[in-house]
Structure 1
Amino acid sequence: MDGGGGAERPVVAAHNGVSGVAGGVVVQAGSIAGGVVVTTAARRWWGSAGREASGVDEWTEGLAQGELTLRRREEAQRRVHDPVALPVRWHAAAAEVTDHWANIRRLPAGAVTGPLVVAGRIEQLGEVYRRVPSGRLVILGPAGAGKTVLAGRLALDLLAARQPGQPVPVIVSVGSWNPATTPLNTWLAERIGRDHPGLAVPAGQGGPSRSAAVIEAGRVLPILDGFDEIDPWLHRAALRGLNADPDVPVVITSRVVEYTAAVRDVAVLTAAAVVELDDLTLEDLADYLPRTAAGHRTGTWDPVLRRLRAQPHATGPALVRQVLANPLMVFLARTTYGDNSANDPAELLDTHRFATAQVLQDHLLAAFIPAIYQSDRPGGARRWSADRAHRYLTYLAHHLHRAGTRDVAWWQLRDTIPRRDRTLVFAVLDGLVIGLGFGLVLALTVGVVFAYGLVPGVTTGLAHGLVFGLAATLASGLTVALTAFFTTSLHGRPGCPSRRLVTALGTGLVVGPATSLTLGLMLALAHTVVVDLVHVFAVNIEFVFTVGLAVGLPAGLASGLIGLRAAGPRPTRTRLQLRGRVRCLVGRFVIGFGFGGAVVLAVGYGFAPAVGFGLAAAVAFGLEAPVSAADVVSAAESLARDRRNTIRKVLAVGLPVGLGFGLAGTFAAGILAAVVVGFVSVRVTSAWIYWLVLVRGWLPLTDRLPWRVKDFLTDACLRGVLRQTGAVYQFRHARLQDHLTGGP
């Protein structure tokens, strides 16, 4: 089979530094400086090497199950087998981009050998890969040639033949990797953890993540999809890193021009066989396209195919053959003119409308979204017109272009809104929540203190609450707006992290107390107007400075530190579980108690609230437990989990703190503390809060996305416009995304 005397590479598992591995080991590529401590969950307190190996084995099998689920789902979304898979073929690439065959075969010095037979078609890809002793393969082809589909098919073939303990093929879109700043293993571990949350947690107390442990154990075969999407100036660093350890198997897909330029600039990928995809033939089109039209439209492609055969050199047929030699264009054509569409594919032969191949390609790209949204998808109702869907998808495409990524992550959609707009929205929200909290509490307390009867007391209390609430709302909104504005403006400037830290802290120390004193003064004046113009004002002046300094200093510090967060919160995963978490619970309680003690000493409430802070920290952050490694998170499930986790944290943080303040002070103080602390805890840490306010609220309000954003994204996946890759969405193809942004 190999055509050159080399034995077929056996399918065995191995660790770093051992050649002849089928599934492959971690792409180390000189990317991890120093040793990596592989610690499993069984060694949190103590453990053995046997337990460590058992943990890695369990996580590896979970990863294999999860990847199998992902790859099957993605192949279904791409309609690869609807009605049949296109017969994608390839041949051995030019010698200038391929290493010596002796290196690929792993032969000793002086051995003479010929090339391997690496040509084949889509159903033979797994077999071809197993012929390559080095386990290093590069798949080249133009945009839309089917490289990503082939990568998925390779992963499925290897997973189907995989035995327990062997490496797991994992596909990652490599365009967001920066090899100059981030080691590949670190980046790869984060990507795996994003799609498999059970592997994102530490393998042991203070150790690396489970995904990092699995990678270090040589249980991952990275399939790096889209090498050409890495910034060109980083290609040199990427190839040099991958060549640092030529014994490490890896699969890469790339466009031909970009990879060839990188090889000329640096060197070939050591020990890697390289294949290049072939164009589809007229026979391939004649076999495939008629099968995509149903019912009375079965023969809709016949006139076009006859013209292509009869006049192969005429301008119209030649352009159509040139364009439809690309699998992506064939998919767009079958969507636009097949699938029960009323459009006539004969118009593709019109040279007045389509004078060049580029114009014809642009037409197919532009016609795709109107065609896909012109009718109800099977099993669902049409909720969005083609025009609105096009506008929403264009907005997403522009966001991805600005962010330099292909991933539509729900927790990053907030970043489509300018920072100052986000600041304004949350300033209003913070002011309303805190102000209404003050107002409700004062409505209760003042109604009791000044009550001379049920009705007068309630009336007086509501009056006080209304005045105080409006004052607090205005002051709180101003506080958050000013602080966020200043910290945001500062973060837009380049500079060293230490200088940014000092600046943010200084801003917080100045703005926090000043605005808090303003809040106290406004409350004092409001209270004076309603109660006693002279006596209460004198008392409240003392209250102004006491509360202003006690609350303003920590609030200012917190605001300054929070302002350093260039990116907002990411999704979180929590499972309440006591077993094995006692030590962590105690640690979190001590931290919370210490923080709470500092706060209550400042306001003179005693230590009952400190206990509440300790309990809040223990419950909210000490009872987190990992989910299964095989638990693949879709974007919808990731969002739902973060929502559930947010609600849990509000209750876990607010109730203990509120109880502590209520026992030490008054019922009203407990309510206020519960509301404020609970809100602040999720305001800072919850990605779902940002999604709810900005993505579900502000963006639809400004007509940039639909009100039912999640349903729209899910529907786009079912229609084949988007695809799900773990917890994120991507456009079906980069060319579609680029077309929507006006790119090439």
Structure 2
Amino acid sequence: MEFYQEIRPHRLVVTGSPGAGKTVLALELLLALLDSRREDDPIPIRISAASWNTNLSLEKLLIDQLVDAYGLSGVTARHMVETRHVLPVLDGLDEMDTEDTPLAESRAAAALEWCNSYQDGRAGSSLVLTCRADYYEELANAGQRILDAARIEVHPPSSDQICAFLIRRVKYPHRWQAVTNAIAENSSETLTRTLSTPWQLTLAIAAYDTMGDPDDLLSITGDRALSEHLVERFIPAVTQLSSRRNKKAPYESDDVTRWLAELANYLNLNAGNTLGGRVMSGTDIVLHHLWPLGGHRIPRLVDATLAVLAAVPCCIIVYALSPHSGRQGITILAYTMAANIIFASIFYSRWWPHPQRLNFRRMGSRSGFRSVITGLLGGVSMGFVAALLFGPAIGLVGGLLYWVTYGGSFGLTGDIKDDRVEIEGPEGPLRHDALSALLFGLTSGPLYGLSVAASADSLIFWATFSMTVGIANGATAGALFRSPRIAVIFGLFSGLASGISQTYTSDQVSGDLTAFLSAPAFALLVGFVILARASRRYLSFLICMRGRLPWRLNRFLRWSYNVGILRASGVAYQFRHLELQDWLAQQAGSHQHSPDSHA
């Protein structure tokens, strides 16, 4: 870190051979900068270069990363980037293109151009970049490199360093005596070359420290054969070690290999492709971005179907308990299904639903406070009018329902408008999304039930119900299209249409029973349909992948991280090394096809 702080400008390129420890060194620098960070220092953010759509500038990449991965608002993210309060740590420039991509047409060359245009005044802005040494040399010879940047290269360890590392890390050093002797005497060039990177050393220790005979390494000839042998033994070894620690293996090694191969093959096939305006990463396993693995259409269709099925009970229960007859009941149900089909088409058209974030600090932000106050004023206004027309009970409950549904849900969820970046791990976004939906579903459901119970006749009930339909539909449309105008228009239209159709087609409603049953139905509507969009898409993906991936995928990925197969980078899991990912992808076979590209 001292070296980085001394260079001017703070632009550093870390190069080295595959498995030399470039990413580890960059992460060590990132953590050291965070530990010593002062108030005005930039916040280091690691980004996988493979996920960069180089049609967009580095500034836009950073803004999108802050919004998508860390929950900041677009305004706050843009301010942080423009004032250079973000230090990009771009990892894996050499992973952006395939081997046959010409340098002049490569995304890596475009990325370097964007990095050079990333300025702070007349000087280059701070950044850190990692790349394989030979690939960076090719780019530099073609006139593409980071200007005004210091470069360090991670060199392989010496024979003495390899032996010392092995003796320190293994449980039974005497079992490795023949291996260390061969390395020290350089009697096995294959073994010495292969174990000259931290990654291969880690594989060797994991594969042979608790099972097998390390002397077997001496009989394998050829660098490639030895590397593949170590990778092949890695997953069975860590699975067996996990079973010893926990007395029972949570997964069989064959299942672990098959599931990880599915994910690795998906990453390799999708690297660099564009789907729904997003460049697919070849390294990042993000839970709420995995759904294309189940196909481009089926998960979205299942998502839309689940949304419709969750919305239907709220309407069916109310309609079923009203004394409809014949054609009137069919008309209402047809209206309901038509509305649900419209919503289904909206959910189907959304490629990448954003997770909601429940964060009480947002109440102190300008946007959160404005949402709460707007909801409160709207609730007071609606409650006052309803109290004059229908009595104080309905006015109070209706006002509270509006305030909680609108002010509370959008005041506590959504973007966080401050400059504190929180890294909560790969499961954080979906956990926030589900908690947001649960909280406001459980809050708004009982309030809606009370408003139904307080209704004395059909006119009052359907006025309350139509108001709720308008708010829910307007909030959903506004959140989906991120447009207040669409929210107002769709909310007013659906609310008025609902009120008019139901006033003319319904009689007295059975209040108590309707209230009792409609409360959980409305909770499901608000929570599962309106707010839990990313969680619902993830659930749809799991349904589509039954038999190909474990049902509790997040638990499996967490276990893979704990045993060292995966690593965590912000909201993404990644394979410990690209060599492991490539080997697993080969195990998956070539029967799968790459998704179609979409602009």
Name the TM-score class by shorter chain: 0.7 to 0.9
| Correspondence 1:718-729 to 2 at 5 A | 718-729=562-573
SS at 1:374 equivalent:
helix
From 332, 339, 342, give the equivalent of 2:203. 332
Match of 1:288 in 2: 165
CA distance, structure 2, for counterparts of residue 590 and residue 544 of structure 1: 38
1:541 aligns with 2:327: yes
State the partner residue of 2:59. Answer: 185
Counterpart of 2:64 in structure 1: which amino acid? Answer: E
**CA 177–573 in structure 1, closer or farther in 2 if over 3 Å, else same:** farther
The answer (yes or no) to whether the contact 2:243–2:250 under 8 Å persists in 1 is: no
Unpaired runs of at least 5, structure 1: 1-125, 203-207, 450-535, 597-606
Query: 2: distance between equivalents of 1:624 and 1:290?
Result: 52
Give, in whole Å, the separation in 2 of the partners of 1:385 and 1:237.
Answer: 43
Give, in angstroms, the shift of residue 253 of structure 1: 0.5
Unaligned runs of 5+ in 2: 272-280, 384-393, 462-508, 590-599
Correspondence 1:710 to 2:547: no
Structure exhibiting the larger radius of gyration computed from Cα positions = 1
Q: Is the 8 A contact 1:592 1:616 kept in 2?
A: no
- Pairs within 5 Å for 1:461-480: none
Q: CA deviation at 1:438?
A: 6.4
Whole-Å separation in 2 of the counterparts to 1:559 and 1:327: 50
- The code of the aligned residue for 2:62 comes to L
Describe the shift of the 1:278–1:195 C-alpha distance in structure 2 as closer, same or farther (beyond 3 A).
same
Give the aligned residue type for 1:190. Answer: D
- How far did 1:137 drift? 1.7
- Normalising to structure 2: TM-score of the pair? 0.72
Distance 1:595 1:238 in 2: 53
User: Which of 197, 216, 220 does residue 82 from structure 2 map onto?
Assistant: 216
Q: 3-state DSSP class of the match of 2:435?
A: helix
687 and 370 in structure 1: CA distance in 2 versus 1, 3 angstrom threshold: farther
SS at match of 2:241: coil
Q: Which amino acid aligns with 1:634?
A: G
Q: How do 1:241-280 residues align onto structure 2 when only pairs under 5 Å count?
A: 241-244=114-117, 245=119, 246-280=123-157
Aligned-pair CA distance for 1:333: 0.7
Identity in percent: 24
The residue correspondences of 1:177-576 to structure 2 (distance < 5 A) are 177-180=52-55, 182-193=56-67, 196-197=70-71, 200-201=72-73, 208-209=75-76, 211-231=77-97, 233-244=106-117, 245=119, 246-294=123-171, 297-310=172-185, 312=187, 317-338=188-209, 341-350=210-219, 354-376=220-242, 380-381=246-247, 382-404=249-271, 405=281, 406-422=283-299, 425-426=302-303, 429=306, 433=310, 445=321, 540-545=326-331, 548-549=334-335, 551=336, 554-575=339-360
- Distance change >3 Å, CA 374–CA 583, structure 1 → 2: closer
Q: Distance in 2 between matches of 1:130 and 1:677?
A: 56
Query: What corresponds to 1:686 in structure 2?
Result: 532
Contact 2:357–2:436 (CA<8 Å) still a contact in 1?
Answer: yes
Per the alignment, residue 137 of structure 1 pairs with 12
Partner in structure 2 of residue 52 of structure 1: none
Q: Distance in 2 between matches of 1:168 and 1:434?
A: 42
Matched residue SS, 2:250: coil
Supply the AA of the counterpart residue of 2:524: F
Rounded to whole Å, the distance in 1 between the matches of 2:410 and 2:160 is: 61
How far does residue 192 in structure 1 lie from its aligned partner after superposition?
3.8
Cα distance change on mapping 1:222 and 1:656 into 2, 3 Å = same
Q: Distance in 2 between matches of 1:357 and 1:437?
A: 64
Q: Give the equivalent residue in structure 2 for 1:616.
A: 405
TM-score (structure 1 length as normaliser): 0.59
Deviation readout 1:253-300 (Å, 9 max, x if unpaired): 101233233333443321112222212221111111122221xx3212
Greater helix content: 2
User: How far apart are the structure 2 equivalents of 1:591 and 1:728?
Assistant: 40
How has the CA–CA distance of structure 1 residues 594 and 730 changed in structure 2, closer, same or farther, with 3 Å as cutoff? farther
Cα displacement (A) at 1:134: 2.4
Structure 1 residues 138, 438: CA separation in 2 closer, same or farther (over 3 Å shift)?
closer
Q: Deviations over 1:314-367 (max 9, x none)?
A: xxx1111121112211111111122xx1311221222xxx44211211111111
Say which of 578, 587, 594 aligns to 1:734: 578
Q: Aligned AA for 1:619?
A: G
Deviation (angstroms), 1:236: 2.7
The answer to whether the 8 Å contact 2:70/2:422 transfers is yes
Amino acid at match of 2:431: A
Q: 1: CA distance between counterparts of 2:43 and 2:303?
A: 44
What is the match of residue 465 of structure 2?
none
Whole-Å separation in 1 of the counterparts to 2:423 and 2:112: 31
Instruction: Please tell me whether the aligned partners of residues 15 and 154 of structure 2 are also in contact (alpha carbons under 8 angstroms).
Output: yes
